[in-house]
Chain A
Amino acid sequence: MNTATPSLGVVMLCHTALDRAAQVARFWLKAGCAVALHIDSAVPQAQVTALQAELGAHPLLRMAPRLRCDWGSWNIVAASQSGAELLLREFDSIGHVLLCSGSCLPLRPAADLVTHLNANEGTDFIESVAVDHADWITGGLSRERFTLYFPFSWRKQRWLFDRAVDLQRRFHISREIPRPLEPHMGSQWWCLSRATLDAILTHPKRKRFERYFKGCWIPDESYFQTLVRLHGRRIESHSLTLVKFDRNGRPNLFYDDHLQLLRRSDCYLARKIWPQADKLYQFFLTDQARKMPPVPPEPAKIDRYFELAERQRTEGRAGLYMQSRFPPDDSGQAVTAGPYSVFSGFDQLFRNFDYWLGQVTGNRAHGHLYAPERANFHGGAEVWHGAISNSAALRDYNPRMFLTNLIWATRGERQCFSITARDHVPPDLMWFMAKDSNAQISLVSGCFLLPLFRGEYKPDDVLAHVAWLQKREQHMLSVLQSRWVRADVRVWTLAEFLNAPESNLQSVAAKIAPDASIASQGLPNMQSLDGLEDFLRALRNKGLPPVLLRDFEGRTGVR
Chain B
Amino acid sequence: MYSELSPSQDRWFRFRMDWKRRRYRARAIAKARELSCVKRARWGREAILLFCTIRNERDRIDWFLKHYRDLGVDHFLFVDNGSDDGTLDTLLAQPDASVWNTPASYRASRFGLDWLNWLMLRHARGHWCVVADADELLIYPHWQTRPLRALTDWLDAQGQPILPAMMLELYPKGPLHTAHVPPGTDPLTALQWFDPGNYTIARKPLLDCLLIQGGPRARAFFADQPNRAPTLTKLPLVKWDMHNTWVNSTHSILPRHLNAVYARGAGERISGALLHTKFLPQIVDRAPMEKARAEHFGNAPVFDAYYDAVAQSPDLWCAQSARFTGWEQLEELGLISRGGWA
Q: Which residues of A contact B (CB under 8 A)?
A: 244, 246-247, 250, 252-253, 255-257, 274, 276, 305-306, 308-310, 312-317, 320-333, 381-389, 391, 393-394, 397-398, 400-402, 405, 408-409
Cross-chain contact of B223 among A323, A327, A381, A389 (Cβ < 8 A): A389
| In the complex with contacts A257-B142, A384-B320, A324-B265 CB distance below 8 A | no
Cross-chain contact of B226 among A313, A325, A394 (Cβ < 8 A): A394
Question: How far is the CB of A101 from the nearest CB of chain B, in Å?
Answer: 16
The distance in angstroms between the C-alpha atoms of A8 and B178, with both chains bound, is: 67
Find chain B residues with CB under 8 A from A327 CB. Answer: 1, 263-266
| In the complex with contacts A313-B267, A316-B268, A387-B321, A321-B201 CB distance below 8 A | yes
Cross-chain contact of A323 among B3, B195, B201, B341 (Cβ < 8 A): B201
Question: How far is the CB of A384 from the nearest CB of chain B, in Å?
Answer: 7
Query: Is the CB of B187 closer than 8 A to any CB of chain A?
Result: no
Q: How large is the interface on B (under 10, 10 to 19, 20 to 34, 35 or more residues)?
A: 35 or more
The distance in angstroms between the C-alpha atoms of A398 and B142, with both chains bound, is: 32
Q: Are B196 and A386 in contact (CB under 8 A)?
A: yes
The distance in angstroms between the C-alpha atoms of A121 and B221, with both chains bound, is: 75
Q: Are A326 and B210 in contact (CB under 8 A)?
A: yes
Q: Are A315 and B266 in contact (CB under 8 A)?
A: yes
The distance in angstroms between the C-alpha atoms of A361 and B199, with both chains bound, is: 29
Find chain B residues with CB under 8 A from A405 CB. Answer: 197-200
The distance in angstroms between the C-alpha atoms of A256 and B226, with both chains bound, is: 43
Q: Are B219 and A312 in contact (CB under 8 A)?
A: no
Query: Is the CB of B299 closer than 8 A to any CB of chain A?
Result: no
| In the complex with contacts A312-B339, A386-B197, A394-B218, A321-B1 CB distance below 8 A | yes
Find chain B residues with CB under 8 A from A383 CB. Answer: 219, 318-320
> Which 7 interchain pairs have the tightest Cβ spacing?
A386-B197, A313-B340, A309-B342, A324-B271, A397-B226, A398-B200, A387-B195
The distance in angstroms between the C-alpha atoms of A305 and B198, with both chains bound, is: 29
Q: Within residues 52 to 81 of chain B, which ones have a CB less than 8 A from any CB in chain A?
A: none
Q: Are A387 and B1 in contact (CB under 8 A)?
A: no
Query: Is the CB of B44 closer than 8 A to any CB of chain A?
Result: no
The distance in angstroms between the C-alpha atoms of A321 and B171, with both chains bound, is: 24
Q: Are B197 and A408 in contact (CB under 8 A)?
A: yes
- CB pairs A–B below 8 angstroms (20 shown): A256-B145, A309-B338, A309-B340, A313-B269, A313-B340, A321-B1, A324-B336, A325-B263, A325-B337, A326-B1, A327-B1, A327-B264, A329-B2, A329-B3, A383-B318, A389-B223, A391-B224, A393-B226, A398-B201, A409-B196
Cross-chain contact of A309 among B153, B214, B216, B341 (Cβ < 8 A): B341
The distance in angstroms between the C-alpha atoms of A317 and B269, with both chains bound, is: 11
Question: How far is the CB of B52 from the nearest CB of chain A, in Å?
Answer: 22
Q: Are B1 and A314 in contact (CB under 8 A)?
A: no
Find chain A residues with CB under 8 A from B203 CB. Answer: 326
Q: Are B196 and A316 in contact (CB under 8 A)?
A: no
Q: A386-B197, A387-B322, A401-B200 are known; give 14 further A-B pairs, CB within 8 A.
A: A322-B337, A323-B262, A324-B339, A325-B263, A326-B263, A327-B1, A327-B263, A333-B266, A383-B219, A384-B320, A386-B195, A387-B196, A401-B199, A405-B197
Q: Are B202 and A398 in contact (CB under 8 A)?
A: yes
Find chain B residues with CB under 8 A from A332 CB. Answer: 266
Find chain B residues with CB under 8 A from A330 CB. Answer: 3
Interface of B: prevailing SS: loop
Question: How far is the CB of B199 from the nearest CB of chain A, in Å?
Answer: 7
The distance in angstroms between the C-alpha atoms of A320 and B331, with both chains bound, is: 11
The distance in angstroms between the C-alpha atoms of A394 and B224, with both chains bound, is: 7
Q: Are A312 and B198 in contact (CB under 8 A)?
A: no
Q: Within residues 241 to 275 of chain B, which ones have a CB less than 8 A from any CB in chain A?
A: 261-271
Find chain A residues with CB under 8 A from B339 CB. Answer: 312-313, 324
Q: Which residues of B contact A (CB under 8 A)?
A: 1-4, 142, 145-147, 149-150, 153-154, 157, 164-166, 195-203, 210, 212-214, 216, 218-219, 223-227, 233, 261-271, 318-322, 334-342
Q: Are B268 and A324 in contact (CB under 8 A)?
A: yes
Cross-chain contact of B337 among A312, A397, A402 (Cβ < 8 A): A312
Question: How far is the CB of B4 from the nearest CB of chain A, in Å?
Answer: 6
Q: Are B223 and A306 in contact (CB under 8 A)?
A: no
Closest to B147 in A: A276
The distance in angstroms between the C-alpha atoms of A408 and B210, with both chains bound, is: 19
Q: Are A386 and B198 in contact (CB under 8 A)?
A: yes
The distance in angstroms between the C-alpha atoms of A332 and B264, with both chains bound, is: 11
| In the complex with contacts A246-B340, A409-B197, A387-B320 CB distance below 8 A | yes
Find chain A residues with CB under 8 A from B267 CB. Answer: 312-316, 325
Question: How far is the CB of B151 from the nearest CB of chain A, in Å?
Answer: 10
Question: How far is the CB of B222 from the nearest CB of chain A, in Å?
Answer: 8
Question: How far is the CB of B284 from the nearest CB of chain A, in Å?
Answer: 22
The distance in angstroms between the C-alpha atoms of A241 and B173, with both chains bound, is: 51
Q: Are B197 and A328 in contact (CB under 8 A)?
A: no
Cross-chain contact of A394 among B1, B146, B196, B223 (Cβ < 8 A): B223
Question: How far is the CB of A75 from the nearest CB of chain B, in Å?
Answer: 22
The distance in angstroms between the C-alpha atoms of A146 and B165, with both chains bound, is: 45
The distance in angstroms between the C-alpha atoms of A29 and B288, with both chains bound, is: 69
Closest to B273 in A: A323
Find chain A residues with CB under 8 A from B269 CB. Answer: 313, 324-325
Question: How far is the CB of B70 from the nearest CB of chain A, in Å?
Answer: 14
